[in-house]
Amino acid sequence: MKRILLILSLLCLPFLAGGCGSDDRAQLTVYNWGDYMDPEVIAQFEDEYNCRVNYETYTSNEDMYVKVKNSSDTYDVLVPSDYMIERLISEAMLRPITKDNIPNLSNIDAAAQNLAFDPGNQYSVPYFYGVLGIVYNTAQVTEPVDSWNLLWNDKYASKILMYDSIRDSMGVSLKRLGFSMNETNETNINAARDALISQKPLVMAYVTDNVKSLMASGDAAMAVVYSGDAAIIMSETDHLGFAVPKEGSNAYYDNFVIPKNAQNPELAEQFINFMLTPEIAAQNIQYVGYSSPNTPALALLDSSWADNAGFNISSEDLAHSEIFKDLPSDVMEIYNRAWTEINVSK
């Protein structure tokens, strides 16, 4: 759920369609997060399978869900996050995966499979994963970055960036208070809301894609980000570190799925299998920067990735983190009301 987003929708751009030939060739429509797939691997798939990939992007799971559910547009491949996959399954919006058509699934670490949102991976195939944490400027932040409490330290007033996402920022506040990121108790949710309102005077901004420039410039001392974004920021900027607080965090898993109304599900499975090829997956990792469960692909990366704290997520941090659940609508109404109150507060 959760990236430095490309402010551009790559819908049938010429460089993606190049090499596909005439329009009577097979068409595959992919709907993905912005800047979450190397355009070169898409072009390679087009060449190898003599097809045309129509590629669109979205900025949140919720935006993707609304369009897929309510639009007349159809898609062959989606890349939602864990809790949204759970919702799509419960609403019978996905096709089961024919695993015989995806032999490269054997490349995926067992730890990323058979998770609670899709037991047995009947409907989804792992793509990238990571955790929510704090990226920080080591020249400005000298104390240990080991607790969400640091985001409430008035020493860093106007130097703190929060994540502009209801589940993520509310989740940070909930974990700081000792609650679950999937909290359903209204009193506890409101306590997390009140804590974020009290923090608001210390916050420079709630951000998404502009976190990179603000951290690179030194304008901000720390930011709540997902590990993959941190990996990219750290690879391009000196004096930055990344940490997952001791109270625990959110672990996310983004997977490929095929909508029930897909027009070309067979080609969709070929696309997913292609993306799991070690050489292709390694190339894609280097473009995206997120942690991959594709074990053979990791062996193909250069050594610099091994030293990147945003890319190398420890098993301890993963074990200490929660996966978001698809919460009931009445509970989400409480979250939405709390988020509105945070946004209007001063």
Q: Does residue 4 belong to any structural domain of this protein? A: no
CB 175 within 8 A of CB 146: no
Looking at the structure, tell me whether residues 141 and 271 fall in a common domain: no
| pLDDT tens per residue across span 146-197 | 999 999 999 999 999 999 989 999 999 999 999 999 999 999 999 999 999 9
pLDDT at 209: 75
- Domain shared by 123 and 134, yes or no: no
Distance CA 296, CA 6 (A): 28
Q: Are 250 and 168 in contact (CB under 8 A)?
A: yes
Q: Is residue 118 part of a domain?
A: yes
Residue 338: what residue type?
A: A
Within a domain: 177: yes
Rounded-to-integer distance, Cα 257 and Cα 15, Å: 25
Same-domain pairing of 215 and 338? yes
Whole-number pLDDT of residue 95:
98
Give the range of the structural domain holding residue 328, as residue numbers without chain letter: 130-251+313-344
Are 204 and 106 in the same domain? no
* Coil, helix or strand at residue 74: coil
- Residues in Cβ contact with 77 at an 8 Å cutoff, skipping those fewer than 6 apart: 28, 29, 30, 31, 32, 256, 257, 258, 262, 268, 271, 272
Task: Determine, yes or no, domain membership for 2.
Answer: no
Domain for residue 264, yes or no? yes
- On whether both 239 and 264 belong to a single domain, the answer is no
In a domain, 8, yes or no: no
Same structural domain, 212 and 329: yes
* CB-CB contact of 228 with 312 (8 Å): no
Looking at residue 23, which CATH number applies to its domain? 3.40.190.10
Query: 155 by DSSP, 3-state: which?
Result: helix
Q: What is the pLDDT along the chain (346 residues), one digit of tens a residue?
A: 444 444 333 444 444 444 444 468 899 999 999 889 999 999 999 999 999 999 999 988 989 999 999 999 999 999 999 999 999 999 999 999 999 999 999 999 999 999 999 999 999 999 999 999 999 999 999 999 999 999 999 999 999 999 998 999 999 999 999 999 999 999 999 999 999 999 999 999 999 878 888 998 999 999 999 998 899 889 888 899 999 999 999 999 999 999 999 999 999 999 999 999 999 999 999 999 899 999 999 999 998 888 888 999 998 999 999 999 999 999 999 999 999 999 999 8
Residues 108 and 218 both lie in one domain: no
pTM: 0.87
pLDDT of residue 23: 67
Indicate whether 9 belongs to any domain: no
Model pLDDT, residue 37? 97
Q: What is the pLDDT of residue 346?
A: 83
Same domain assignment for residues 108 and 157 = no
For the stretch 278-326, pLDDT in tens is 999 999 999 998 999 999 999 999 988 888 889 999 989 999 999 999 9
Looking at the fold, whether 95 and 207 belong to one and the same domain comes out as: no
Specify whether the CB–CB gap between 131 and 250 falls below 8 A: yes
Asked if the structure places residue 269 within a domain, the reply is yes
Q: Are residues 199 and 138 part of one domain? A: yes
Residues 324 and 198 in one domain: yes
**Same domain assignment for residues 103 and 138:** no
In the chain, how many domains are there? Answer: 2
